[in-house]
């Protein structure tokens, strides 16, 4: 447990699409007490909204039923500080928003683990930047509740994802890793092949279609062929649907430059493998002087929230993520 906690706490981000538990970048350090309180209350309200959405899907179950009460108390404690300081709290930005909930209860707990760890990190930042003793005391209490109580409760019901060091991989896990690498190479080769062909035929603007329409099909086909789930993700997304799976969320927060691995209690192996940019990529992911003519207009039209420009040659662009079931390692073992 302790190892898991420290393993996970060295990192940070989330899962599902759009309005889930914060795929947003960590915000700049707040400068005023109001900004600190606003950041804290927004994160508590976000958690409440997500936990309520989980209960709407899976019923009033523990640990969500208990923890949502605790989060409401946290919100009330923060509101008291606004009153004490004569400040006006912001409107609740999460009211009425549709929140995506993962498919299974265990994944909802996994997502909540990510949220609580991120919440703890937000408080690290806020505590360091707050001069008011009373507010700091509230922040410390709320952080303690997240990291000592909520996190443990969610871990008891989650999938048990934990980081594996490359040296600690068992023989079966090494087979799973090989599978992940094979699937990654297959998907990358296919994608690059189609991209180059399309650029030759229709220029970069014509090739945007390959990325937007073909990439998901290529991922699906590579996944089916290799018996894995596979996709691409980044901390700067072009398509908000390319969120990392929940097991990769905290790793993505760390922006690893080399491959990282996770395993869960059911024997799944998760691999996160870096993708770097080369010259051709810059036609669609570079700064304004690198982008090919017409590309910017088309991206503006297709991807309203595009964050994936401004990169330089050789830079990290994102990662392939591959999730390999236990059977991949076991089959390989039997075949030996
Ligand atoms: C012709 C334009 C174009 C080129 C060239 C291009 N990309 Fe992309 N890239 C896109 C588009 C469009 C998407 C969004 C795909 C989608 O909708 O899933 C994308 C998405 C991605 C993603 C997924 C994460 C996200 O932001 O949604 C990664 C990773 C990525 N590109 C890396 C690369 C790399 C590496 C290269 C060079 C080998 C490259 N791209 C070349 C247009 C391009």
Which pLDDT value is given to residue 327?
78
The values of phi and psi at residue 66, to 5°, are -75, -45
Closest ligand 1 atom to residue 307 Cα is 26
Residues with Cβ within 8 Å of 104's Cβ and at least 6 positions away in sequence, in order, are none
Residue with the smallest CA separation from ligand 1 atom 16 is 212
Ligand 1 in reach of 219 Cβ (< 6 A): no
Report whether pLDDT(265) > 80: yes
The CA distance from 184 to 84, in Å, is 55
Report whether pLDDT(77) > 60: yes
Beta 260-263 vs 316-324: how paired, if at all? unpaired
Report whether pLDDT(22) > 70: no
| Structure confidence at residue 24 as a pLDDT band (50, 70, 90) | very low
> What is the enclosing helix (H) or strand (E) of 164?
strand 162-164
Task: Evaluate whether 39 touches 31 at the Cβ level (below 8 Å).
Answer: no
Report whether pLDDT(3) > 70: no
| Structure confidence at residue 203 as a pLDDT band (50, 70, 90) | confident
Give the mean model confidence (pLDDT) for residues 75-103. 96
Ligand 1 in reach of 286 Cβ (< 6 A): no
The values of phi and psi at residue 217, to 5°, are -65, -40
Ligand 1 in reach of 208 Cβ (< 6 A): yes
Task: Evaluate whether 139 touches 174 at the Cβ level (below 8 Å).
Answer: no
Which pLDDT value is given to residue 6?
39
| Structure confidence at residue 207 as a pLDDT band (50, 70, 90) | confident
Ligand 1 in reach of 283 Cβ (< 6 A): yes
Ligand 1 in reach of 317 Cβ (< 6 A): yes
| Structure confidence at residue 27 as a pLDDT band (50, 70, 90) | low
Mean pLDDT, the chain, whole residue set: 88
Check the CA dihedral 192-193-194-199 and report its sign.
positive
% of the chain at pLDDT higher than 70: 88
The CA distance from 140 to 108, in Å, is 26
Report whether pLDDT(328) > 80: no
Query: Structure pTM?
Result: 0.85
Lowest mean pLDDT segment, chosen from 15-19, 226-230, 287-291: 15-19
Residue with the smallest CA separation from ligand 1 atom 17 is 212
Task: Give the mutation target among 203, 284, 313 for probing the ligand 1 site: most ligand atoms within 8 A of CB.
Answer: 284
Closest ligand 1 atom to residue 277 Cα is 35
More confident: 7 or 59:
59
| Structural domains of the chain, ranges and CATH numbers in brackets | 2-158 (1.20.1260.10), 164-335 (no CATH)
Give the mean model confidence (pLDDT) for residues 49-53. 96
Report whether pLDDT(329) > 70: no
Give the mean model confidence (pLDDT) for residues 264-271. 96
CA of 220 to the centre of ligand 1 (A): 16
Ligand 1 in reach of 166 Cβ (< 6 A): no
| Structure confidence at residue 16 as a pLDDT band (50, 70, 90) | very low
Give the mean model confidence (pLDDT) for residues 278-301. 90
Burial profile 19-36: b = 16 or more Cβ within 10 angstroms, e = fewer: bbbbbeeeeeebeebeeb
| Structure confidence at residue 26 as a pLDDT band (50, 70, 90) | low
Report whether pLDDT(13) > 50: no
Task: Evaluate whether 119 touches 256 at the Cβ level (below 8 Å).
Answer: no
Ligand 1 in reach of 218 Cβ (< 6 A): no
Residue with the smallest CA separation from ligand 1 atom 24 is 233
The CA distance from 191 to 209, in Å, is 12
- Which CA distances in Å does 283 have to 78, 197, 280, 286? 47, 15, 6, 6
More confident: 111 or 201:
111
Report whether pLDDT(17) > 60: no
Task: Evaluate whether 274 touches 259 at the Cβ level (below 8 Å).
Answer: yes
Environment class of 278 (CB within 10 Å of its CB; exposed 0-12, middle 13-18, buried 19+): exposed
CA of 232 to the centre of ligand 1 (A): 9
Task: Give the mutation target among 238, 273, 295, 316 for probing the ligand 1 site: most ligand atoms within 8 A of CB.
Answer: 238
Residue with the smallest CA separation from ligand 1 atom 18 is 212
Give the model confidence (pLDDT) of 123-155 as tens digits. 999 999 999 999 999 999 999 999 999 999 999
- Which CA distances in Å does 89 have to 22, 111, 312? 20, 27, 41
The CA distance from 245 to 323, in Å, is 9
């Amino acid at each position: 447990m302790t190892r898991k906690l420290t393993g996970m706490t060295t990192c940070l981000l989330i899962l599902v699409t759009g309005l889930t538990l914060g795929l947003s970048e960590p915000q700049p350090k707040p400068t005023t007490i109001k900004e600190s309180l606003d950041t804290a209350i927004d994160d508590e309200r976000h958690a409440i909204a997500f936990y309520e959405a989980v209960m709407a899907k899976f019923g009033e179950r523990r640990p969500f039923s208990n923890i949502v009460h605790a989060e409401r108390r946290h919100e009330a404690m923060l509101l008291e500080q606004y009153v004490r300081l004569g400040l006006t709290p912001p409107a609740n930005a999460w009211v009425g928003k549709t929140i995506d909930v993962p498919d299974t209860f265990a994944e909802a707990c996994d997502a909540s683990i990510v949220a609580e760890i991120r919440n703890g990190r937000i408080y690290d930042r806020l505590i360091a930047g707050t001069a008011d003793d009373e507010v700091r005391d509230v922040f410390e209490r709320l952080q303690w509740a997240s990291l000592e109580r909520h996190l443990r409760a969610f871990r008891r019901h989650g999938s048990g994802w934990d980081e594996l060091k490359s040296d600690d991989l068992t023989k079966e896990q090494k087979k799973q890793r090989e599978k992940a690498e094979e699937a990654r190479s297959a998907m990358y080769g296919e994608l690059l092949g189609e991209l180059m062909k399309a650029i030759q035929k229709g220029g970069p603007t014509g090739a945007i279609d390959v990325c937007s329409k073909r990439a998901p099909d290529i991922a699906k086909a590579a996944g089916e062929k290799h018996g894995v789930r596979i996709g691409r993700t980044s901390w700067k997304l072009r398509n908000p649907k390319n969120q990392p799976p929940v097991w990769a969320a905290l790793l993505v927060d760390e922006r690893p430059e080399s491959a990282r691995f996770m395993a869960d209690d059911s024997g799944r192996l998760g691999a996160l493998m870096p993708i770097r940019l080369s010259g051709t990529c810059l036609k669609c992911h570079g700064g304004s002087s690198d982008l090919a003519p017409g590309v910017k207009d088309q991206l503006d039209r297709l991807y309203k929230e595009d964050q994936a420009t401004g990169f330089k040659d050789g830079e990290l662009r994102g990662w392939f993520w591959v999730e390999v079931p236990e059977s991949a390692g076991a089959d390989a073992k039997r075949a030996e």
